[in-house]
Amino acid sequence: MDVLRQLFEQHYGFPPDEVKPLQGQLGGSGRAIVRLRSGGTSAIGILSTAREENVAFIEFSKQFRSHALPVPEIYTQDLSQGAYLEEDLGDTTLFEFLGAHRSGESIDPRAMDAYRKVVAILPRFQVVAGRDLNYKVCYPRSSFDRQSIAWDLNYFKYYFLRLAGVPFNEQSLEHDFDKLTKFLLTANRDYFLYRDFQSRNVMLREGGPFFLDYQGGRKGALQYDIASLLFDGKADLPPAMRQQLLDHYLDCLAGLIDLDRGAFMEHYYAYVYVRILQAMGAYGFRGFYERKAHFLESVPYALKNLRWLAENVKLPIALPALMEALEAIGSSEKLEGLTAPAAGLTVRIFSFSFHQSALKDEEGHGGGFVFDARGLPNPGREERFRALTGRDGAVIDYLSREESVSTFLAHAMALVDASVATYRRRGFSSLMVSFGCTGGQHRSVYLAEQLAKHLRGSSGVEVVLRHVELEKMHMATEATSERLSK
């Protein structure tokens, strides 16, 4: 991270006093993403070995900002080391905002409003900025052409169908892929195609959306990006909401081009299919091949979307081998655990003191995690913190600025996330996670609170949080007050 520290100091004139890895932002990209902060100044630092993607992102960002599109400002860069600093857009993604403002199929109007703002801006990327964009920096292709489509379809075939053990006739499937590709390429492809336009790549700040991760962009058809957003797997948008947002998108698009809605819709659902297949290839590659189990959590949502398409959409072309393969996914024994609705999982998180005995799991499977935080910086040794706890702002600020604490927490979260994914797939109902420190007042409380915040809002997960030593302190205080009042 030294290069990012240096860039920060070169840009602002003073070094960062905190470098914190950002949770949940690595995804499948392999980039390191950190927040650098000093006082009230912060920036996001990116480290990536993919030089061509770095060049594309930085070039596109400058061009989008020239069109007043809401993307991060690039502050400074050192592409020889794969590093750059960009504007800090906060911590709330559209995906997280949706999760916090829904109950099953019921979507809060605030989430709907956020999505409407997002789909209203998309045509400006595609049409306005797309007219004079420098497509020479696109990587790995300058357009979503036959080769790009072939890569996506084969990604699905070899990394999902093959690794999931789903039977298919390869020659017949290739014939259908060829038909689908030819049909997709008959759509007008003279627009900017964002490529990964989904809810985790949109940040919300002060009520407005900001857009990230367009480094894979290229020239292509309008249908692809809106399909990506509306059929975004784990976002799991209700069909009625998808239709309302599609109508709103088309209304906004019609203000920029002479739109033939019939021609648009003729190709739309074919692009929905190819986007879902590309995503399933990614789930298979990351989940089955790289053994990153949390990517497989998205498979049931993709299959739910495919079932909806099978029941509600008739493509203009017949693709019997592909449809047969998709139907076979539902009967695959290997996918049975993934496609079955996951049972609700309760994650019970505790903080405690190692001066007392470690806690035992009395309700679950006798497993879980006990994390020892005594090797971390201890706020309890400083007079100003002794009367406070890990829930107080001053202690939170102190610990969040310690890189060793951020690293410890990142590793703990990664371990817990992997178990949560596995427990949910296997139908387990309980997971226990405990953080211990010397007194059970500062470090363990802070870490437990951060993990609880991280897990809350996760689909199918209920979080129960307890601070054992704080509860004892509270009971002692109440008992003293009761004695004094007598």
Tokens coding 157:
């075939």
| pLDDT tens per residue, range 195-225 | 999 999 999 999 899 999 999 999 999 999 9
341 has pLDDT over 70? no
- Give pLDDT, residue 19: 92
Closest CA to 228 of 179, 177, 278, 266: 278
What pLDDT band is residue 479 in, cutting at 50, 70 and 90?
low
| pLDDT tens per residue, range 372-400 | 999 999 999 999 999 999 999 999 999 99
To the nearest whole number, what is the mean pLDDT of the chain? 91
Mean pLDDT along residues 4-15: 97
Q: Is the CATH number 3.90.1200.10 carried by domain 94-339?
A: yes
| pLDDT tens per residue, range 19-69 | 988 854 444 456 889 999 999 999 999 999 999 999 999 999 999 999 999
For 152, half-sphere exposure in the C-beta direction (CA atoms, 13 angstrom radius) is 26
- Give pLDDT, residue 290: 84
**CA pair distance 361, 366, nearest whole angstrom:** 5
478 has pLDDT over 70? no
| pLDDT tens per residue, range 122-174 | 999 999 999 999 999 999 999 999 999 999 999 999 999 999 999 999 999 99
- Give pLDDT, residue 26: 41
| pLDDT tens per residue, range 281-327 | 999 998 888 877 778 888 989 999 999 999 999 999 999 999 999 99
Tell me the percentage of the chain whose pLDDT exceeds 70. 92
Phi, psi of 242 (to 5 degrees): -60, -45
| CA–CA distances in Å: residue 482 to residues 90, 470, 475, 477, 486 | 45, 18, 10, 9, 7
**CA pair distance 368, 419, nearest whole angstrom:** 8
- Integer-rounded Cα radius of gyration of the chain: 25
- Give pLDDT, residue 102: 86
**CA pair distance 287, 31, nearest whole angstrom:** 18
| pLDDT tens per residue, range 406-419 | 999 999 999 999 88
- Give pLDDT, residue 27: 45
What pLDDT band is residue 481 in, cutting at 50, 70 and 90?
low
Question: Residue 347: what residue type?
Answer: V
Mean pLDDT along residues 268-273: 98
User: Roughly how many angstroms between the first and final C-alpha of the chain, as a whole number?
Assistant: 60
Q: Which residues contact 480 (CB under 8 A, 6 or more apart)?
A: none
- Give pLDDT, residue 423: 83
Closest CA to 294 of 416, 411, 198, 195: 416
What pLDDT band is residue 1 in, cutting at 50, 70 and 90?
confident
- In the CATH hierarchy, which top-level class contains the domain 2-86? alpha beta
Bridge partners, residue 397, by sequence: none
| pLDDT tens per residue, range 441-457 | 999 999 999 999 999 87
Question: Residue 281: what residue type?
Answer: G
**CA pair distance 190, 126, nearest whole angstrom:** 9
Q: Which residues contact 360 (CB under 8 A, 6 or more apart)?
A: 366
- Give pLDDT, residue 105: 83
The structural domains of the chain, with segments of one domain joined by +, span 2-86, 94-339, 345-485
Q: Which residues contact 377 (CB under 8 A, 6 or more apart)?
A: 398, 399, 402, 404, 405, 443
Out of 86-90, 110-114, 229-233, 366-370, pick the least confident: 366-370
